[in-house]
Amino acid sequence: MSTQVTITPFKKVLIANRGEIALRVIRTLKEMNIGSVAVYSEADRNSLHVRMADEAICIGAAPSSMSYLDIDALVTAAKVTGADAVHPGYGFLSENADFAKAVTKAGMVFIGPTAQAIEMLGVKSTARAIAVKAGVPITPGSNGIVGKNYHEVARKIGFPIMIKATLGGGGKGMRACLKEEDLDLMMKTAQGEARANFGDDRVYFEKLVLNPRHIEVQIAADNYGNVVAFAERDCSLQRRHQKLVEESPSPFVDNKTREKLQEAAAKLIKAARYRGVGTVEFLMAPTREFYFMEVNTRLQVEHPVTEAVCGQDLVKMQIQIAQGEPLSLNQAQAGKVRCHAIEHRINAEDSSHNFMPCPGTLTEWIPAGGLGVRVDSHMYCGYTIPSYYDSLIAKLIVTAPNREKLLQRSARCLNEFVIGGVKTTIPFHQRILANEDFRAGNTDTGLIERMMKQDESQK
C-alpha cells in the first residue's frame, strides 16, 4: 500500500536567527520563491541578513535573552508578518522543544524535527538508550543520570571517564576525570557549570576514549520513513570542544568504515522516528572502532562541507521535508563522495592572546575567491561586529578533487583573505595547514591543545 503524500508549500518563512546562518537560509528561500522575514536585535539593525530579507522586524534589545532567545517575541513576530513557517537556524533556540511547541501551537510549521524528537534526542542519556535499542555502538557509561552512588558507577566503568551534562552542548558541563581521587572535584565543577549554563545540574558518565577523532554523519529523514546518510565529516580539530576546522571525507575513514557509520546513523534516526535534517556524532578510536556520542537536531555550522561533497542544498532539503515532500534521493546518491572539502571557521578572535574576542569595525573586507571556493558570511566593509554574540564572522569552504589539492587551495585562500580592523583566526588556520600531523591526516581532538602547549613552552 503506497503512502499518501500531502504537500503544503510555504509562502513566507521567518528565520529565528541572525547573521551568517540567517543570510544562508534567506538565499535558499529566494531560490525557492518563498518570502523571507528576518528578525533582529537592536545591535543587529545594520546586519546583512536584515538588508537581504524581504521583510525585517526588530524583536528586542541586544542581549540574546531579550531578543533571539525570547520565544514570545519570535512567535509574535512570525504571526504579525503572516509567516507560514519558522526556520530556527543553528544555536539559540534551534534545539529547544518549547520553541518548536510554541511555533506549532501558533499554527505555523517548525522547520525541523518534532518537539518530541528534540526532547528525546536532546537529553543525551535518553539518546544513548535509543542508540542501545537500535544496536548502535556506544561508549561504556552510566546508561542514565548518575546519583549519589557516582563513585561506584565510575569504578564499574573504569577510569578515565568523561563527566557530561545531561543537557550539555558546546563543551559546557564537561570534565575529564583521569583518576578517582579527582572525581568529587570534577563532579562539583561539571555540575556547577551545567547549572549555570542550562539550569540543570544532572550529569552522566562515559568512558573516556583517549586520542579519539570526532566523526559525524549528516542525515536527512522525511515524513514517510525514508532516511539517507551522507559521507562523514571529520571535526577533530577543536579547541575546548569548539570546532575550528571540518573536512569531508575524513582522511582516516575507509570505505568499509564509512558504510558502517552511515548504517549506524540511519538506524538510530529511524529508531527515533526523526524527521528533517540532523547530525549523528561519533567518537572514533585509533582502531577505527566508533561510539555514538549525540544527535544534533538542527542544521550544523559545518553543513556546507557536506553540501560540497554531496552536491545537495541541505537548507532546501529541510524546507521540502517540512512542506511534506518525500526525499528526492536514495542512499547511493546521498553517500557518494564527489570531491574533498574543508571548512575553516574564521572568528574575530586574537589567537595569539588565548583567542580573546575582538569585536570592532571592519576597515577592509576582501574574501577569498576562485575555483572551488565558497565564503558564507554576513560581513561587509564598514560593518561593526557586536560584542553580544558568537565571534564567528566567516566560513571559508574550499573544495578540490583530492586532499593534496585541497590543502594547496586552502593555503592560497587563507593567504588572499584580507580582513582589516579586527584580529581574526586566519593566522591560526595557516598554522594548522602547515602542521605535519594535520597534513598527514594524523589528527585527533587533542591536536590543537598540543599545538597551543607547544606555543607556551616556546615563550
Residues with active-site annotation:
298
- The secondary element (H helix, E strand) that includes residue 346 is strand 340-347
- Rounded (10°) angle between helices 426-434 and 403-416: 150
The DSSP symbol for 66 reads G
- In single-letter form, the type of residue at position 320 comes to Q
Tell me the CB-side half-sphere exposure of residue 245, using CA atoms within 13 A: 28
Task: Specify whether the CB–CB gap between 76 and 39 falls below 8 A.
Answer: no
C-alpha cell at 310: 554531496
Burial of 298 (0-12, 13-18, 19+ CB in 10 A): buried
> Residue 16: which residues within 8 A CB-CB, separation 6 or more?
39, 68, 74, 78, 86, 87, 88, 89, 92, 93, 99
Q: What is the dihedral of CA 116, 119, 124, 126, to 10 degrees?
A: -50
Three-state DSSP class for 387?
Answer: coil
- In single-letter form, the type of residue at position 442 comes to N
The whole-angstrom separation of Cα 452 and Cα 430 is: 14
The residue among 132, 124, 100 whose CA lies nearest residue 113 is 100
β-sheet bridge partners, residue 238: 243
Instruction: Output helix, strand, coil percentages for the chain, rounded to the nearest 5.
Output: 35, 25, 35
> Residue 453: which residues within 8 A CB-CB, separation 6 or more?
none
Q: What is the largest CA-CA distance in the chain?
A: 70
